[in-house]
Amino acid sequence: MDSKIILQRLAERHNITALNDMQLRMQADNSPRAILLAPTGSGKTVAFALRLLRRLSASKGDIQAVVLAPSRELVIQIADVIRPVAAGLKTVAFYGGHAMADEENSLKVIPDIIVATPGRLLDHIRRGNLSVNGVGSLVIDEYDKMLELGFLDEMKRIVSRMKQLHLTILTSATPLAEYPDFLQLKGATIMDFTSRGPSGQLQTVRVTSPTKDKLDTLEALLKALPRGRALVFVNHRDASGRVYTYLREKGLPAGLYHGGLEQHQRQQAVDLLNNGTTPILVSTDLGARGLDIDDVDYVIHYHTPLSPESWTHRNGRTARMGRSGTAYIILSDEENIPDFVSYDREYFPKGENPDGIRSEVATVYINAGKKEKISRGDVAGYLMKGASLTKDEVGKIVVTDHYAIAAVPRAKAGKILALLADKKIKNTRVKVSLLK
What secondary structure does DSSP assign to 377-397, as a single string? HHHHHHHHHHS---GGG---E
Residue 238 confidence (pLDDT): 96
CATH superfamily, domain at 202-346: P-loop containing nucleotide triphosphate hydrolases (3.40.50.300)
Residue 198 confidence (pLDDT): 47
**Angle, CA 249 vertex, CA 311 and CA 206 arms, to 5°:** 30
What is the three-class DSSP state of 20?
coil
Please tell me the CATH code under which domain 3-192 is placed: 3.40.50.300
Measured in whole angstroms, the distance separating CA 48 from the mean position of its chain's CA atoms is: 16
Residue 319 confidence (pLDDT): 82
CB-based contact 368:425 (threshold 8 Å): yes
- Tell me how far apart the alpha carbons of residues 296 and 273 are, in angstroms, rounded to a whole number: 10
Please tell me the CATH code under which domain 361-435 is placed: 3.30.70.330
Instruction: Give 409-414's long-range contacts (Cβ < 8 A, gap of 24+).
Output: 409/360, 409/361, 409/362, 410/359, 410/360, 410/361, 410/362, 411/360, 412/387, 413/362, 413/364
Residue 321 confidence (pLDDT): 67
β-pairing, 325-332 vs 298-301, is parallel
Residue 4: which residues within 8 A CB-CB, separation 6 or more?
none
The proportion of the chain whose per-residue pLDDT surpasses 90, expressed as a percent, equals 81
Question: Using CA of residue 339, residue 344, residue 348, residue 352, what is the dihedral sign?
Answer: negative
DSSP letters of 135-194? Answer: --EEEE-SHHHHHHTT-HHHHHHHHHT-----EEEEEESS--SS--GGGT-TT-EEEE-T
Residue 292 above 80 pLDDT? no
Residue 61 above 90 pLDDT? no
**In the chain, ranges of CATH 3.30.70.330 domains:** 361-435
Higher local confidence (pLDDT), 196 or 402? 402
- The total of other beta-carbon atoms located within 10 Å of residue 245's CB is 13
β-pairing, 280-283 vs 230-233, is parallel
| Widest Cα–Cα separation across the chain | 65
Task: Read off the pLDDT of each residue in 126-140 and give the average, rounded to a whole number.
Answer: 97
Find, among 221, 230, 208, 223, the residue nearest to 278 by Cα.
230
Residue 350: which residues within 8 A CB-CB, separation 6 or more?
224
Q: 111: number of CA atoms within 13 Å, CB side? A: 25
**In the chain, ranges of CATH 3.40.50.300 domains:** 3-192, 202-346
Question: Using CA of residue 333, residue 334, residue 339, residue 341, what is the dihedral sign?
Answer: negative
- Tell me how far apart the alpha carbons of residues 311 and 346 are, in angstroms, rounded to a whole number: 18
Question: Exposed, middle or buried, 341 (CB in 10 Å: 0-12/13-18/19+)?
Answer: middle
Find, among 275, 253, 230, the residue nearest to 359 by Cα.
253
Per-residue pLDDT tens digits for 214-272:
999 999 999 999 999 999 999 999 999 999 999 999 999 999 999 999 988 999 999 99
Per-residue pLDDT tens digits for 167-223:
999 999 888 878 888 998 988 999 998 865 445 588 999 999 999 999 999 999 999
* Lowest-pLDDT range of 80-89, 193-202, 392-401, 408-417: 193-202
What pTM was estimated for this model as a whole?
0.74
